[in-house]
A = this chain, B = another copy of it.
Amino acid sequence: MNCPHAPPLRGSLPPKGANPPWGGPAASWCLPTIGAMTFLDQLRTAERQNGSLLCVGLDPEPAKFPEQWRGDASRIFDFCAAIVDATADLAMAFKPQIAYFAAHRAEAQLERLIAHMRSAAPQVPVILDAKRGDIGSTAEQYAIEAFERYGADAVTLSPFMGFDSVAPYLKYHGKGAFLLCRTSNPGGDDLQSQRLASVDGQPLLYEHIARLVQGLWNLNGQLGLVVGATYPAEIERVRALAPTVPLLIPGVGAQGGDAAATVKAGWRAVAGETVSPIVVNSSRAILYASSGSDFAAAARREAVRTRDVLRAACYTP
Q: Enumerate chain A interface residues (CB-CB to B < 8 A).
A: 59, 97, 99-100, 102-103, 105, 107, 131-139, 141-142, 144-145, 148-149, 158-166, 180, 183, 185-199, 202, 205, 208-209, 212
Contacts and interface: CB of A to CB of B under 8 A. Distances in A.
A219 to B, nearest CB: 14
Contacts of A166: 187
B136 A185 contact: yes
A140 to B, nearest CB: 8
Contacts of A131: 132-134, 158
A48 to B, nearest CB: 31
B197 A99 contact: no
Contacts of A186: 136, 162-164
Contacts of A191: 159-160, 162, 205, 208-209
Nearest to A167: B187
Contacts of A162: 183, 185-192
A73 B199 CA distance: 45
A105 B141 contact: no
Quickly give the copy total for this chain.
Answer: 2
Given A132-B131, A133-B133, A190-B163, A142 B198 contact: no
Contact of A205 (B102, B107, B141, B194): B194
24 contacts: A100-B138, A102-B141, A103-B149, A105-B107, A105-B149, A135-B185, A160-B191, A161-B180, A161-B183, A161-B185, A161-B188, A162-B183, A162-B188, A162-B189, A164-B185, A191-B208, A194-B196, A194-B199, A194-B205, A195-B196, A195-B197, A195-B198, A196-B196, A197-B202
Contact of A141 (B100, B159, B180, B202): B100
A77 to B, nearest CB: 16
Given A138-B59, A160-B159, A205-B191, A145 B99 contact: yes
Contacts of A102: 107, 141-142, 145, 149
Nearest to A108: B105
Contacts of A148: 103
Contacts of A145: 99, 102-103
B161 A99 contact: no
B158 A133 contact: yes
A158 to B, nearest CB: 5
Nearest to A190: B162
A100 B141 CA distance: 6
| Residue of A134, A144, A164, A180 most packed against chain B (CB within 10 A) | A134
A99 B145 CA distance: 8
